[in-house]
Structure 1
């Protein structure tokens, strides 16, 4: 099916003018395109973010506090950091991105370059790495270069980007889908949301402190003396708190501390503005601080509330417990077994966690307000896209026609999450047994299921499971039983935990198939063909083989037992030399063998009576007694040889008949298989013709 889809997509590409030539032209650089989910790129992005933070802090110190890097730090700033930034620009030209409309990855180089250039990031990144001072060799341009490099401060927002961090986090957990890892990822994500708020507060207050010092230092002489050098006002902030005598570290700490206390409107009073410019700037800080820290507090509270709702479904769980308590009224307050209680709670916990229709049912009014086309795309192309894509062979729809979209939209309302865990619950090992009623079919996304039968051998007293077919990851089971309303014919054994979505027989037969009879007939026919071809035929062949081997062993033991009993009752001189080698014997052959053994017994008894007569004659003492005894022995020996010969001939005849029977059976089974295969081909051709006619 995948090869057919690929062939169809290639043919459509040729019709659209793409063709194989363009694909070959794109192949030479396709391996250079960087995928979004590569772990090394996620690590590189984190390193870039820290480099941006390091670079912005140093530039801020250089501009505001006139601190220039020296020695090793200067080499790091001029060569290492700039080289990393240059590589980042190169990687951005090779980094695939998701189309905002389709959410599909775009790997074409021209589209990636256009997206990066016109997004605005390229302009700032390129201007920031231009060494204007080295190019113009002018000291006055150093401040211009610093201002251009300050543009990179905007990149520090990437440190606070939730989507970027979530993408990097998923790249580390993409191959691990266990429940514990998913919950760990969720906890880390919420912890980062809280941490980023504190990081935002630290970053903003730091830059506000640097800006405060820059303004205070620039206007340090405002209102100090007049034109005759007479003191006309009190000293400014810079001189009042003797910042001219402080070290650089002390200046940074005092400025940062003052901006923090002002933005949070705490105002301890140990540092305060003096000049008009300082007072105006402090007022602006307080107004912005009220808004900013109010937003931080509300965001923290919202994150904590969402975390509590996600980690514990307290409302639904409490309702389930109340319902179970109400059931005890009808059992004389007899408590429910703990094992059954745990199974019920685990079932609903999983159902509530993975029920994709929960939000749809809770906000049905919002969904109904959307146009029909949007509702269908929301359900089929977004909410259940993985199911309709991975199991397209079952639905047999391309979503091209309006009726097929309606069909998938109606089917999507029947999906219910199911989970089978044989490791923790032994009753989940057998999903369905032979002759069970099948109320649900399962679209399995993960897990391992074996399909076979129970077989009782002579060596064991219990039934042994013989697994014939094995399915793992993206498989469907019990579809034929549900759509064609049949009972289960085989045993479905859950080997590893299975995560799946179920469609009930009642939902399909009453709500879907009656509304779409043509699609229902096609689904029924295709399910039957897949069931017979991939399940029923190979499993029945394996079962018949086991049954033949068992009958062979049973027949051999029965014949061997009869021969041994008959030989034990005969005298040594009259034991027939029987052989039991050969193919399996039928019941008629066993009866013939018993009749021959009985005849042999009768003749042996007659020979014994004759020997008794000879003994009487010997007691009488006649002269010819020895001759008569020798003659009698010769006759008895001849009779034994003749009987052995007849028995051998009978056994050889039975073997030939059994061999002919086995050959005829094999020929007959081959003829039946060929006729059945022809019938399948004819049915498939008929279904294809019906599809073409439709």
Structure 2
């Protein structure tokens, strides 16, 4: 294999070529001919040279080019686009600048003023002198806005800000420029005021400009600022309420603007028919509207159009000639369909607004369900009903997954656990949906980070299966007779682990902290626990189905291995506490039995001595009496009883002697004679 030698110019050119390639990405084919650095030009492959690099060098060069293009090509293309887009960045007005916000606010109000006044001028009567002067001022504002439109940046389809004057002008020309020029034409000066007012109505298309400034996101930020000291749940509720209320307000305003515009056009149509067709019977003459002021005309025409669109038709106003009837036919074909759609959207928004705090409604549904059970089957005991109602009330108030919750019981295949079934999450890119869930469940992930982790996607597949749990005092959570079906995540209260012995619960281990994971080892291994888990005063938190945890853990082997080690250590600690507690109980019971036996033997021995046992002699030869305190007290009581009997006998004797002294002597003698 022959390699042609190259001089220093070739090597220098190759070095500069690859340095350029590393900085800017893939270069064009011409750059293979010449690469310029500053004012000097280094020849890499001069076309007139006879010496060339070896074939191996070409192959290596092509491989390097491909690899660098894959690594740096996108960023290089993006840098070129940004350089092109930001050609005049210092002279353009940024979309987020305060100046742009002020301009949009002023022009948004001016747009509403221009549309409303143009409709009134067109349908009822033209402006007065003072009104005309103010209209000129508004016209000047629109001219200034037209000029500034060539200086305001915009965002392309890739959401990249464009600050190139040429590109801004091109974008403006294909969007709003024609409509803005048409609405600025001063045709009133040429004697065509109605034409000018009609052209101004193009600005109806820009009425949303004001709502882009006062958007619901900005209102939500304001609400968040006002409620920064409140709890997060109240803040979330207020944000939802603000969003729905704002949507409802926008829809109502939109309906009012459309109906007002049609009423003004109806007035213009009625006047035009009266002048051009010489209809004697027309809307103005028939209802004597010429005698009313402009304000009264606006209200009456608006009222007529509104009732027509609502298909109510009270009969106080109606079309009076064939032209007006033809207009009403078109109005009744198009208007009610659109109005029904708008009203449907409003009703839907109101329904969502009612569902924001729908705990009471959900409780009513549960109550109705229980009533149906009572009616069709057997009446449920009141105590059981209360337990069911309390369970669902707690569930509805603490359901974190909410509308995003996965309904695993509906899945025919466990592979469905790997996808999201909410229509919005399903349509989002997986990376974006994971970011959203990471924000929504950040507090939960942080509390139980030992289980959910932070380095993989394991937590995102489980967070939507969370179900609230509440246990009252002494309620059994997991029994020793069966393996647990779910893992409990304790947040409040306490859970005790122990055994029932002689109908008495003996506690061996207690979960006191509010970030405890309970029964995870037994759920994963489908094993029975050594102890009974019961709630202390109360216990609340959430649980996840065991079958779901096992399936998702198998998707993440590393996470499974790490968590299994942690779970095994935790379970062994609990089981050791149970075994030690049982051992201590057995030892105490044995000691108690020995004490009882010893006491019984002592009592038997004492009883035997008291019933005739041999008395021991003292050192002095005298017999010792028993010194048992119990029998000593008995002897005292016997002696006292004897003394009491003697005292009573003496008293009886004395009483008889006193009685004998009271008997007369004659009575005694007579008794002796008898």
Q: Which has the higher helix share?
A: 1
**TM-score when scaled to structure 2?**
0.47
Pair member with larger Rg:
2
**TM-score when scaled to structure 1?**
0.46
